[in-house]
Structure 1
């Protein structure tokens, strides 16, 4: 049955889902029109909001571009590729391959979402290279499906912000400790269930042999020495400096020293900047010389085009949703019909709907928190579960929103239509796990 469902959604997505850039433009138009229709703002006010917010994600766009290029460069180094090859050898059949990829990706996303996005896609490429007959689309989709676990893990933005003094909701609902969110029984149930069930789901989505879309393993081969340059006896001083391992060791030492001090002072608190520094430090060391690393980065940078052009559109959409009050109106549609028992589920679905326009955990907390949390207090609902319902809805609807798939697709060399049918299938079946956890635990 699951195979039939995945084939159906794959067919629908291939026919109707536009390119992610066109998708972002269409969402801009829909948000603009809804803002005029449902809020007191006129067209000029909505355009002003869009323009004011259009460049708000520049810093984040750069962070995501660096996640992609530093992760790609690290994974292309000889030692890391050998390690992934050894790990990929655990699987010997295409079905085992997709199960292993989604398991590794989901565990990595629990540790850190940026780490999981990049490592999952890199590992999927390695499995495709090693196992003939693998469906390349499903492998990359499996890597992205692991992203469902990120908001139950150690880098989850909503529960971490809710537990931080001075966050926007502190005056409304106080500080919500992570013992009530990340380490609560319902979150442990949901996260562990996803880690266990996603491999089984991916196995059942495996297409029949005649429908497999494989890729020539030779196309995934990378010359381990392609970034290295041998110097001749007449090399200049400048060329010798460019290819000097000593400079890479010095940079790596700086990075390692800083990270050691950071973790000593902050505990194992990974964020996107520390992950990027870890990737860069390890990558420049493993590539041995500064210019070898620069060549690896140059090869990886070609995949950042989607991030550069699409993220500003989502920044504009987010500000229109936030400043017009449209996000609050949509949230209240769900909240106003909720009871104490159904409140987390309604908050979950409202978050999923808003995720189409605001695919950001932190953005959800800003837009939905002022409506969800006071309503939870008034109904006597669990505040930790209310906050996590916002987080889960965002993570869940990512399976139908191509925003976060861009880094994985860039690494894989695929388009969004290649994987979204499988991802929408995982959206459908994972909803059962989220709803059971929110309602019965």
Structure 2
């Protein structure tokens, strides 16, 4: 396993470009495919690209806020102290890999933005305790937890179809999370990956102790991120009413309690109805409460926005790719090809495969659902296949190839101080393994 992982690691480090260049290369690939496989001219493809460039602004804001609010909460003193205590469970490189993978997976099940940041911060804590661990594999292990996100509480597709007014409501109705996230097939996939991923990453460890050790200078550069607050920060001497308000705990408590009141009201009125907006709302207001004062919250928010910068810049490019895929008919051709070779047994599995391929060009669960939902759900109804399972198949396809699509690795890499090529070789192995339990869940449950 280690030798195979080393092979992919060498290939990726040699040939994989930066994540932004990856998006640009995909843009040219889709542009050429649209000309070759459809009746569209180059001028039309340019029009589709530019016309779609800003079509995901609302969704981009929601996704950016998930990363930002997740970071704010993960970087609060309470959560950082907890991470410091958890890191003490690892005393060897093997234990470090197992611990980071398991905790990152659990955190991503709760919220993927939160999980990405928690995984990175915990990995840095653990690396300081176990400096002989392969730092690149440790961060790949932290990112591997992201594989579970679309089967968890922040999964955009199950939350979208559970939200009143979604664009396929007239076709499939409103599907509660009890039929998606808490279904037998989803629980099997999540449970199997939760147990097997730490073991897989442990097997990818190199036998040589000194290969891939963390650079001490990198730890020094990241010290501000993980340094625990041993004593309460002294209240700043303020001279103006505005400064007193910025450092007021009362303000944070009052607005935090107002947020908690709405969260309680939401669940009383709607039951276990988790959608993208309420997840963001929960993490935002817990972040406000945990940071204590508005000033500390805003300082953390400033750092969080820096980590989301790569996502914010690249989202329009992927929106442009999505515009070309949809307007040219390429996405329809891809999806319909899989539908045409499907039957009532294979449709969910082939939906998963098609979503995994499409995810390279549209690395957004919500964006993919906007493309594939209109095709897969009518096909599922026509073949008498469970529409909830078909939707979750698309969700797992999106999560699956995220392991080799660098878009969502950007936040964790920014915190870690690494490049995408540093971890992607290990992620290829994770991609191969995860195909097995996901396929079993979609085919036989």
Query: TM-score when scaled to structure 2?
Result: 0.89
Distance 1:173 1:212 in 2: 50
Distance 2:61 2:419 in 1: 22
The residue aligned with 1:49 is: 48
Q: Deviations over 1:194-226 (max 9, x none)?
A: 111111111111223131232424444335469
Contact kept in structure 2, 1:229 and 1:292, CA below 8 Å: no
Farther off after superposition, 196-205 or 152-161? 152-161
Contact kept in structure 2, 1:128 and 1:215, CA below 8 Å: no
Distance 2:65 2:383 in 1: 43
Cα 1:275–1:376 shift into 2, 3 Å? closer
Cα 1:36–1:191 shift into 2, 3 Å? same
Cα 1:322–1:250 shift into 2, 3 Å? same
Do structure 1's residue 118 and structure 2's residue 117 form an aligned pair?
Answer: yes
Within a 5 Å distance, the mapping from 1:252-401 to structure 2 comes to: 252-401=256-405
Alpha-carbon deviation of 1:229?
6.0
Contact kept in structure 2, 1:159 and 1:388, CA below 8 Å: yes
Distance 1:288 1:130 in 2: 29
Cα 1:219–1:340 shift into 2, 3 Å? same
Q: Deviations over 1:124-168 (max 9, x none)?
A: 222223332222222221122112222222333333444556544
The residue aligned with 1:147 is: 146
Distance 2:163 2:295 in 1: 41
The residue aligned with 1:130 is: 129
Paired residue total: 439
Cα 1:104–1:314 shift into 2, 3 Å? same
Cα 1:289–1:240 shift into 2, 3 Å? same
The residue aligned with 1:23 is: 22
Cα 1:258–1:411 shift into 2, 3 Å? farther
Q: Deviations over 1:107-140 (max 9, x none)?
A: 2222333332332222222222333222222222
The residue aligned with 1:10 is: 9
Alpha-carbon deviation of 1:436?
1.8
Farther off after superposition, 187-196 or 160-169? 160-169
Distance 1:127 1:306 in 2: 26
Farther off after superposition, 16-25 or 123-132? 123-132
Farther off after superposition, 83-92 or 190-199? 83-92
Q: Deviations over 1:320-367 (max 9, x none)?
A: 212222101012222323344333332221111111111122222221
Cα 1:30–1:120 shift into 2, 3 Å? same
Distance 1:285 1:272 in 2: 20
The residue aligned with 2:70 is: 71
Distance 1:291 1:264 in 2: 32
Contact kept in structure 2, 1:69 and 1:300, CA below 8 Å: yes
The residue aligned with 1:91 is: 90
Distance 1:312 1:326 in 2: 19
Cα 1:64–1:182 shift into 2, 3 Å? closer
The residue aligned with 1:199 is: 198
> How large is the Cα RMSD of the aligned pairs?
2.6
Cα 1:269–1:206 shift into 2, 3 Å? farther
Contact kept in structure 2, 1:72 and 1:122, CA below 8 Å: no
